[in-house]
Amino acid sequence: MTRIYVPRDALAVSLGADDVAAALRAACPDALIVRNSSRGMAWLEPLVEVETEVGRIGYGPVEATDIPSLLAAGLLGGGAHAKRIGRPEDQPFLARQTRITFARAGLTDPVSLADYRAHGGLAGLTRALGMSPAELIDEVAKSGLRGRGGAGFPTGIKWRTVQLAPSAQKYIVCNADEGDSGTFADRMVMEGDPFLLIEGMIIAGLTVGATRGYVYLRSEYPHAITAMNEAIGVALREGVLGDSVLGSGHAFHLEVRVGAGAYVCGEETSLLDSLEGKRGQVRAKPPLPALSGLFGKPTVVNNVLSLAAIPDIFAGGAAAYQALGMGRSRGTMPIQLAGNIKHGGLFEVPFGITLGELVMEIGGGTASGRPVRAVQVGGPLGAYFPPALFDTQFDYEAFTARDGLIGHGGIVVFDDTVDMARMARFAMEFCAIESCGKCTPCRIGSTRGVEVIDKIIAGDSKQLALLEDLCDTMKFGSLCALGGFTPYPVLSAIRHFPEDFSRHQPALAA
Amino acid sequence: MIGKTEIATRTAEIIAPYLALEGPAMPMLHAVQAAFGFVPEASVPVVADALNLSRAEVHGLVSFYHDFRREPAGRAVLKLCRAEACQACGADRIAAHASEVLGIGWHETTPDGAVTLEPVFCLGLCAAGPCGMVNERTVARLDTARLDAILEAVR
């Protein structure tokens, strides 16, 4: 029986993958249609793959209306067609990657535990079950893994703090509130390889002595919610989760909790308040969540990508993971290429690649074909970079040195039609909409920021000094990164694109 | 339109399964909204009572989170992404087009009750923008023609 793969990933589904699958089912009743995950090449989605004697052959982007012509061209045997791309793994976009977290992306049925095991899944957990708590912590620390949510805090240190905190109840909380524009790696892990996240969370639980975990998943990700819940159900039935993980006697219970559209809940302490059933307002630190987190108990709060890196660190050994990367940024980073880009998608590589390679070589420049003018790295709180800074290496410290941040690894490309004064205004407007209201610099400062930028856009460039002063107050006076980092996009827009802040002079009367 | 007493009775039934959870407030409010299409005023005291919270605290939850509505939406909800990655691909033009065709602004519902237009900040489809959501269905690579077809289908 011929196997045909049609992704169930949200991006593919948003472009008609369900219709493609239905059309194939109707036209080829004898074929087995597998709903796999996405390979991460967005411009080819929906990417249909057919298993042939020479491996899987891809066709994309496929619409349901293409099915008759594809079948006439011999789709089931990998026949020639304008949309045939050959073997997906031969695509330069995939061939240049070092996929660890995304090793299984597109290959498996995401909710099949058998597929997961067949592709190396659960090897890390199996090894971890034979290790002592001290050995477990050592392995994480040695890997050099730093928090992939944006802050880059060493995971080993965070886990050690929780491990050493005395408490009968501890928690593992996965921050899956991936609200940054231009990022989708968490979504792709949860939709495409949910057992990987589950395995990472179980290992975290074993390491610190926690028996309960929560995935705080944003409501904007309905497909991820479905996939995670399906996978948790399977894991429970198969004894991966539950009272005795893989028969070890260690308990671990996991639950998905759905957010409600508040961007600020991606900040770990507001996330915890939201989980507890409160307004998602930021807590002052200390105390650290590691000591007093969910319901006041010691809690590991990690991003999806941090937890998803754990199984491979245990399966392949910390040394192998640590060997990749540059400086203090070890391992790989799943980078997300987005916005106005020709070849967008998921690109996992060791740290150290330059911004220019990512945007121009791998991404192929803009989708519109116009020159690249600016890229925003690290979400709505990240700085805008001009092409003049494309030699910046993808590394936590290298971006900090250039007044930017890599954040969660999202890169949004803009062409030369972008108005950077408007983008700076949007940064302030977004902060005003999403501010939790707890601290004044963020709550009031963002609204004043919009007003000041409006005056600048109206032609009053004297207000620039006031705007920079306001940014200074927000940066140093805000409780969390929402107010504290909103100045990054604003100030970088002013610094690198000053012409956009003076060109709005009102025309002189004739 | 059902009466306040009936709403209260149904709310109590809807939230009962969540009472045993740790931190049940958010799952309860999601369930109430899923059942009614919004969080009715008459549900608030029932949830408050179940959680041993004040009505003000529950009201505070409903008003804090963008997802929770205090009034029914139109028969279809069109959410359009306003975030940076979609802006880079022309999201502003798509939003202006939707607004013009529907004759409404953000957070408004057409007079015939057919469509509510809402902004959303990122659906994670950032390599295929502009994108949006029609009820529970996500849509990507929107252009005015696709948007017109979507609106045609839901009106």
> Could you tell me the two tokens for A304?
């999806």
Task: Classify the phi-psi angles of A237: left when phi > 0, otherwise alpha if psi is within -120 to 50, otherwise beta.
Answer: alpha
Nearest to B64 among A14, A280, A410 (CB): A280
Per-residue pLDDT tens over the stretch A120-141: 999 999 999 999 999 999 999 9
Whether B2 has a pLDDT exceeding 90, the answer reads: no
What pLDDT is recorded for position A504? Answer: 59
Residues A11-20 have a mean pLDDT of: 98
List the alpha helices (DSSP H) in A249-303. Answer: 268-275
Average pLDDT, chain A: 96
DSSP codes of every residue in A301-365: EEEHHHHHHHHHHHHH-HHHHHTSEETTEESEEEEEEEES-SS-EEEEEETT-BHHIIIIIIS-S
Inspect the interface and report whether the beta carbons of A14 and B29 lie closer than 8 Å: no
Nearest to B131 among A14, A260, A433 (CB): A14
Residue A510 has pLDDT above 60, yes or no: no
pLDDT, mean of residues A269-281: 98
CA distance A213 to A234: 16
Identify the residue among B19, B69, B122, B150 best suited for mutation to test binding to A, counting A beta carbons within 10 A and taking the highest: B122
* Of A39, A101, A27, A107, the residue nearest A69 (C-alpha): A27
Whole-number percent of chain B with pLDDT over 90: 97
Find which of B68, B126, B133 to mutate to test the A interface (most A CBs within 10 Å of its CB): B126
A74-115 pLDDT per residue, tens: 999 999 999 999 999 999 999 999 999 999 999 999 999 999
- A222–B129 CB contact, under 8 Å: no
pLDDT in the model for residue B60: 97
Which of A109, A19, A82, A6 lies closest to A50, judged by CA?
A6
Is the pLDDT at A508 greater than 90? The verdict is no
Yes or no: say if A56 and A3 are a contact pair by the CB < 8 Å rule: no
B96–chain A Cβ distance below 8 A for any pair:
no
Question: Could you report the per-residue pLDDT of A431-462, keeping only the tens digit for each?
Answer: 999 999 999 999 999 999 999 999 999 999 89
List, for residues A159-181, the tens digit of each pLDDT value.
Answer: 999 999 999 999 999 999 999 99
Q: What is the DSSP letter of A500?
A: G
- What per-residue confidence (pLDDT) applies to B155? 83
Q: Is A181 within 8 Å of B125 when comparing Cβ atoms?
A: no
Q: What is the DSSP letter of B50?
A: H
Q: Cα A123 vs. chain centroid, distance in angstroms?
A: 24
The answer to whether B50 contacts chain A (CB < 8 Å) is: no
Which residues, in sequence order, are bridge partners of residue B78? B117, B134
Segment B110-149, tens digit of pLDDT: 999 999 999 999 999 999 999 999 999 999 999 999 999 9
CA distance B103 to chain A (A): 24
- Residue A505 confidence (pLDDT) above 80: no
Min distance A40 CA to chain B CA atoms (Å): 10
Residue A1: pLDDT band with limits 50, 70, 90: confident
Nearest neighbour of A184 by CB, restricted to B86, B121, B124: B124
pLDDT tens for each residue of A296-344: 999 999 999 999 999 999 999 999 999 999 999 999 999 999 999 999 9
Query: A14–B127: do the CB atoms touch at under 8 Å?
Result: no
Task: Say if residue B64's pLDDT is above 80.
Answer: yes
Q: At which residue do the structure tokens 């956009």 appear?
A: A500
Per the CB < 8 Å rule, is B140 touching A43? no
pLDDT at B140: 97
Identify the pLDDT of residue B1: 64
Amino acid at B109: T
How large is the average pLDDT for residues A222-236? 98
H or E segment to which residue A449 belongs:
helix A440-457
ipTM: 0.97
- Single-letter residue type at A75: L
Cα torsion A345, A350, A351, A354: sign: negative
Per-residue pLDDT, averaged over B60-88, amounts to 97
Question: Chain A contacts of B89, Cβ < 8 Å?
Answer: 339-340, 367
Confidence band (pLDDT; 50, 70, 90) for A28?
Answer: very high
Mutate which of A63, A170, A181, A255 to test chain B, going by most B C-beta atoms within 10 A?
A181
Phi, psi of A26 (to 5 degrees): -70, -40
